[in-house]
Amino acid sequence: MNNQVKFRRHADEARARLSRALVSFAFNVEEDELCAATRRNARVAFGRQIAMYLAHVAFELSLSRVAFAFGRDRTTVSHACHLIEDRRDDPEFDQKLDDMEQLLRDAPEPAGPEQ
């Protein structure tokens, strides 16, 4: 694997961590739970879906790149994005996601891995 691919994966994983941290804070869900390999309860699964959605939308990552960064399948990320998009009909939820997207877009770019 060349250095460019390694850096892209490192950056994607950093963006996924940032998305999870923001969702953890905003929705009061333990970040460790969002990283869990299993679905967990509905609240945690919903938080993970939001984090995946935000990584896709705010950072303009492909579904495949989000899936890799979250350790999930591309179809799982696609499903999550559709679910969250459907929930955006609620004005309060939509505003919260708009604010979170803007926070993530304003975040600095991830630093390269130490050589």
**Which residues have CB under 8 Å from 89's CB, separation 6+?**
none
| Polymer length in residues for the chain | 115
Lookup: tokens for 47: 């938080």
Taking only the tens place, the pLDDT of each residue in 40-90 is 799 999 999 999 999 999 999 999 999 999 999 999 999 999 999 999 999
**Type of residue at 3:** N
The residue extents of the domains of the chain are 3-106
Lookup: tokens for 48: 């993970």
Q: Looking at the domain 3-106, which fold is it?
A: Chromosomal Replication Initiator Protein Dnaa; Chain: A; (1.10.1750)
Lookup: tokens for 78: 């696609």
- pLDDT number for residue 50: 98
pLDDT band at 115 (very low <50, low <70, confident <90, very high): very low
Taking only the tens place, the pLDDT of each residue in 28-44 is 999 989 888 777 799 99
The DSSP string of 57-93 is: HHS---HHHHHHHHTS-HHHHHHHHHHHHHHTTSHHH
Q: What letter would DSSP give residue 28?
A: T
What's the maximum distance between 2 C-alpha atoms anywhere in the chain? Answer: 46
